Amino acid sequence: MTDVARRLLAWYDRHRRDLPWRAGPGEPADPYRVWLSEIMLQQTTVAAVIPYFRHFTDTWPGVAALAAAPLDDVLAAWQGLGYYARARNLHRCAGVVATDHGGRFPDRESALRDLPGIGPYTAAAIAAIAFGRPATPVDGNVERVVARLFRVTEPLPGAKPAIAAAAATLTPNRRPGDFAQAMMDLGATVCTPRAPECPVCPLAEGCAARRAGDAAQWPARAPRKRRPTRFGVAFWLRDGEGRVLLRRRPDSGLLGGLMELPGTEWTETAWDDAAARAEAPLAARWEPLPGEVTHTFTHFHLRLRLMAAIGAGPSGTWEHPARFARLALPTVMKKAIRHALDHGR
Ligand code: SF4
């Protein structure tokens, strides 16, 4: 075991964060809880995940229960965590584990990677934390700690392979799961992005960035590309009973499987009213509503206008707005619905 691993594990034994998915010291971890938490934690904070994790494990205490749940229930419970493709993959993965693996997660990184929604990071995290394999999960926290320890000056994302290789040299054969969690905890609580607390860090002695006195500036990042803007028009169609037409998005792609108002494609140039009307679900007196809805996705900004009409006929889901709460609607559609209702539609 390296000096880094020894010191970090000793620190972890005293300072580990108490998190609902973590097993107690010396207790075996539950692979279901490890997997669920790792999927939820992708690009979301620990504080945001805790209530969702509790709700999921109360509702579906094991992988078989989650596999048997209707997808819409899972998507509805996921609302607010973002990235719905993850929720759909979560449900698919539970199904594969329940049917193809007899309800047990595989215990090796390579087999874990074959499961839906499990990439290299998550496979390594589950292998290490749930099964004690000497795998090295490298998330943003670990990346930062390792970049500073070794003072990797090449900017991200180009430096990722070098950082991953350096991180792997630290992983011990004994307690690799605790070591992985210790690295995550150190990054989250001591080696923080803007103000690393080097004086209290258990790794200060061997840390190259601390020695150079420039820890806070690593890892460096290549400049981000500007987010482009896309434009769309959504159609608010009410029938004589006040119900609104909704449709389900295709399962794959952005917001896959979620409900939405019918609309145009989201394009790089704005739609004029005539072009938008040609895309409407039926020929009617479509009135543009004033203003627009804006929403920022990971890769683009969206500016969405609404057009409203009264009519019936097109197939889809017809639902009264009072019952929208039980549907899996993405945030951008909730904003669009609010916009229509605010304009008296
Ligand atoms: Fe991070 Fe400072 Fe510890 Fe180095 S010494 S790992 S920079 S907190």
pLDDT tens-digit profile of 312-338?
999 999 999 999 988 889 999 999 999
DSSP string, 4-58: HHHHHHHHHHHH----TTSPPTTSPP-HHHHHHHHHHHTTS-HHHHHHHHHHHHH
Please give the Cα distance from 191 to 185 (Å, whole number): 9
Please give the Cα distance from 58 to 37 (Å, whole number): 14
Q: Does domain 229-342 have CATH number 3.40.50.2300?
A: no
pLDDT at 68: 98
What are the tokens at 43? 């690009």
What are the tokens at 290? 């004033």
Domain with CATH 3.90.79.10 in the chain: 229-342
Give me the chain's average pLDDT, please: 95
Please give the Cα distance from 183 to 168 (Å, whole number): 12
pLDDT confidence band for 344 (50 / 70 / 90): confident
Q: Using alpha carbons, select from 238, 235, 247, 259 the residue that is nearest to residue 315.
A: 247
| Mean local confidence (pLDDT), 96-105 | 97
Please give the Cα distance from 154 to 136 (Å, whole number): 21
pLDDT confidence band for 256 (50 / 70 / 90): confident
Q: Tell me, using a 6 A CB cutoff, whether residue 191 lines ligand 1.
A: yes
Q: Tell me, using a 6 A CB cutoff, whether residue 210 lines ligand 1.
A: yes
CATH code for the part of the protein at 3-136+171-189:
1.10.340.30
User: What digits encode the pLDDT tens for the residues 115-168?
Assistant: 999 999 999 999 999 999 999 999 999 999 999 999 999 999 999 999 999 999
Q: Hey, whose CA ends up nearest to atom 1 of ligand 1?
A: 191
pLDDT confidence band for 42 (50 / 70 / 90): confident
The percentage of the chain sitting over the pLDDT mark of 70, rounded to a whole number, equals 100
Whether the pLDDT of residue 217 is over 90: the answer is yes
Domain with CATH 1.10.340.30 in the chain: 3-136+171-189
Whether the pLDDT of residue 95 is over 90: the answer is yes
Pocket test of ligand 1: the residue of 11, 12, 149 to mutate, having most ligand atoms within 8 Å of its CB, is 149
Q: What are phi and psi of 327, to 5 degrees?
A: -95, 155
CA–CA distances in Å: residue 276 to residues 15, 232, 273, 345? 58, 8, 5, 19
